[in-house]
């Protein structure tokens, strides 16, 4: 009996020790935070938020297309299969490394507000509807969709395959159906009750018997397939000057909308210079202007003054520095980031190391609570990020979004897509840089990232998640550069976020009444949570939105690519 009890005790201790070792992340490769290994391949790599989109992009690479063609094919596929995050009713931004010209290119493919709706006209419409701000499910929130023009711009400049070949698989999936994945199904079913009563064809287009599709159900969108066929046959003008634009114009007039044919005919994407800073020898690139990418660079400039490597990942000191730098930078984000056609963004000041040093001096031992803030409107956002790389060395970092989930829910019958509600992010404060004006691009949260080292492309990466995205970019980069994680481990490591900063939609003089709210994933030790609370931070474990991530790193020594994708949801990295 005693022998039997001892045997059971030793068995329990062995199993406990095995579990504890695994729980500590002691994988065979010795990585403490990774859920799995990186994907490694020589000829090409794709990382998207949907496995089938990844496969579509890989097939394009294998059939003679390049990274640009693959990115367009993947984005068309995610727009079909993940309408909860993106689609051709939304906008797009991309950073592209073009190997032949040895140059980094950046495109702003975001749309503008209606030319026929003035600021005073907007205020009258809001007053008539009893609203004090632009609402997400109102036609006032619809700006011109820029994604399609973005596709044709990058394809015209860099693409190899004809668009009919790039869109072939998305058309087939739209017409013949695809199985809906788990996380997408969950978000889809949450959106349907809110949006299915919207004017237009939402219910006919995006539901099965009036409900969002369940995990594993086969879903078809033949209307979107037909729209893709028009684009493949007639090009971008089918969307902005011909059939599609005319249908949208007529529907908007019938439903008291504000976009007109002229808004589409006048639309154009813009090739711009990215904003950049050097962080510990790495050149980090982002999109500026009406996009929050500058916040990533400002945070890195502040954090460069700390020895994060010695401080350690997930420690109280590191977490405090990260949270406080975010709070400081988001004040600048609220007051300065806006459409560069309407506002001169003071990059020379915002991105200077001297300015970062001054801001860093404001970080003390206690949590800051005397900075401006406003209502929460953009902390959560639904987006897709994808990245592709090819055998030649081209790399694409692309992000695309409807803004809130499935957008407005307004679907023109026969077109198969919902309009974005990005116009919600205009301020109605007449003195705000991001105030509403006709023909203006609203503030955007979606940001693609890119890193160069010694003048060579190194890392294409990004994460979705509304206002979380600068935090996510900084977390990924510090995990890799300061804490020596690989790119899969960097995405899998426990995350944090902070809510409560001033928003670009608010008045500039609103005051913060507390330190905001910090959310931390459970992988951060609870002792750190206690110590952060002692510093004055309001901390909650879980219940936050921590974004979703993809990344590709180029290894020039071995001439291979490393790929990583979000382990928390449906994404996949794959190569060949």
Residue 377 pLDDT > 50 = no
pLDDT of 23: 43
Phi-psi region of 2 (alpha: psi -120 to 50; beta: other; left: phi over 0): alpha
Residue 281 pLDDT > 90 = yes
Distance, in Å, from the CA atom of 418 to the CA atom of 221, rounded to the nearest integer, reads 12
Give yes or no: 84 in active site.
no
Residue 186's nearest CA partner among 570, 571, 573 is 570
Residues 6+ apart with CB under 8 A from 37: 29, 488
Residue 422's nearest CA partner among 445, 399, 439, 398 is 445
pLDDT of 506: 60
Q: What is the mean pLDDT of residues 405-432?
A: 94
Q: Which residue in the list 54, 277, 383, 515 is annotated as catalytic?
A: 383
Residues 6+ apart with CB under 8 A from 200: 251, 255, 409, 410, 411, 412, 413
Specify whether the CB–CB gap between 450 and 529 falls below 8 A.
no
What's the pLDDT band for 547 if we cut at 50, 70, 90? confident
Q: Which domains does the chain have, with CATH numbers?
A: 48-271+380-425 (no CATH), 293-379+462-556 (1.10.246.130)
Q: Which of 364-373, 394-403, 566-575 has the lowest mean pLDDT?
A: 364-373
Q: What is the mean pLDDT of residues 548-574?
A: 95
Summarised one tens digit per residue, pLDDT across range 330-364 is 988 888 888 888 888 888 899 999 999 999 999 99
What's the pLDDT band for 371 if we cut at 50, 70, 90? low
Residue 16 pLDDT > 90 = no
Distance, in Å, from the CA atom of 189 to the CA atom of 186, rounded to the nearest integer, reads 5
Write out the two tokens for 385. 């990020």
What's the pLDDT band for 513 if we cut at 50, 70, 90? low
DSSP 310-348: HH-TT-HHHHHHHHHHHHHHHHHHHHH-S-TTT----HH
Specify whether the CB–CB gap between 434 and 504 falls below 8 A.
yes
Structure letter (DSSP) for residue 435: B
Residue 250: C-alpha distances to residues 140, 228, 255, 260, 261 (Å): 16, 20, 9, 8, 9
Write out the two tokens for 387. 């990245």
pLDDT of 537: 95
What's the pLDDT band for 27 if we cut at 50, 70, 90? low
pLDDT of 512: 57
pLDDT of 359: 93
């Amino acid at each position: 009996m005693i022998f039997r009890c001892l045997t059971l005790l030793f068995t329990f201790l062995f199993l406990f020790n095995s579990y504890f070792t695994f729980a500590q992340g002691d994988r065979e490769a010795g990585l403490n935070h990774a859920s799995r290994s990186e994907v490694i391949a020589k000829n090409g790599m794709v990382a998207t938020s949907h496995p089938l989109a990844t496969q579509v992009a890989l097939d394009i690479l294998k059939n003679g297309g390049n990274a640009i063609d693959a990115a367009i094919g993947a984005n068309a596929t995610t727009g079909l299969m993940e309408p909860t995050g993106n689609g051709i009713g939304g906008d797009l931004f991309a950073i592209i490394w073009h190997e032949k010209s040895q140059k980094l290119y950046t495109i702003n493919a975001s749309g503008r507000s209606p030319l026929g709706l003035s600021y005073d006209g907007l205020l009258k419409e809001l007053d008539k509807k009893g609203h004090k701000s632009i609402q997400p499910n109102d036609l006032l929130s619809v700006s011109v969709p820029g994604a399609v023009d973005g596709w044709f711009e990058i394809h015209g400049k860099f693409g190899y395959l004809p668009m009919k070949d790039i869109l072939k698989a998305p058309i087939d999936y739209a017409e013949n159906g695809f199985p809906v994945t788990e996380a997408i199904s969950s978000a889809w079913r949450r959106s349907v009750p809110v949006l299915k009563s919207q004017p237009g064809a939402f219910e006919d287009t995006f539901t099965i018997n009036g409900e969002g599709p369940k995990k594993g159900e086969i879903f078809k969108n033949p209307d979107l397939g037909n729209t893709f066929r028009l684009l493949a046959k007639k090009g971008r003008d089918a969307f902005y000057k011909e059939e599609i634009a005319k249908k949208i114009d007529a529907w908007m007039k019938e439903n008291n909308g504000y976009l007109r044919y002229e808004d589409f005919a006048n639309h154009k994407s813009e090739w711009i210079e990215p904003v950049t800073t050097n962080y510990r020898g790495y050149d980090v690139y982002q999109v500026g202007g009406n996009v929050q990418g500058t916040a990533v660079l400002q945070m890195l400039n502040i954090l460069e003054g700390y020895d994060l490597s010695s401080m350690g990942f997930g420690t109280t000191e590191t977490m405090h520095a990260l949270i406080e730098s975010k709070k400081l930078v988001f004040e600048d984000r609220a007051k300065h980031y806006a459409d560069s056609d309407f506002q001169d963004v003071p990059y020379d000041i915002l991105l200077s190391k001297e300015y970062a040093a001054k801001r860093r001096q404001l970080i003390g031992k206690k949590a800051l609570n005397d900075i401006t803030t406003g209502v929460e409107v953009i902390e959560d956002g639904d987006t897709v990020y994808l990245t592709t790389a090819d055998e030649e060395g081209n790399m694409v970092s692309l992000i695309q979004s409807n803004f809130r989930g499935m957008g407005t829910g307004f679907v023109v019958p026969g077109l198969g897509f919902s309009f974005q509600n990005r116009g919600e992010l205009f301020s109605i404060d007449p003195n705000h840089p991001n105030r509403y004006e006709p023909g203006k691009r609203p503030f955007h949260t979606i940001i693609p990232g890119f890193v160069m080292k010694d003048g060579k492309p190194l890392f294409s990466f990004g994460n979705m998640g509304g206002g979380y995205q600068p935090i996510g970019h900084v977390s990924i980069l510090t995990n890799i550069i300061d804490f020596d994680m690989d790119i899969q481990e960097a995405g899998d490591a426990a995350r944090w976020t902070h809510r409560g900063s001033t928003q670009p939609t608010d008045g500039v003089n609103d005051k913060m009444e507390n330190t905001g709210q910090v959310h931390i994933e459970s992988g951060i030790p609870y002792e750190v949570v206690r110590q952060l609370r002692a510093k004055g931070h309001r901390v909650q474990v879980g219940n936050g939105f921590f974004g979703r991530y993809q990344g590709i790193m180029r290894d020039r020594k071995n001439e291979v690519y490393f790929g990583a994708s979000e382990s928390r949801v449906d994404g996949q990295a794959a190569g060949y």
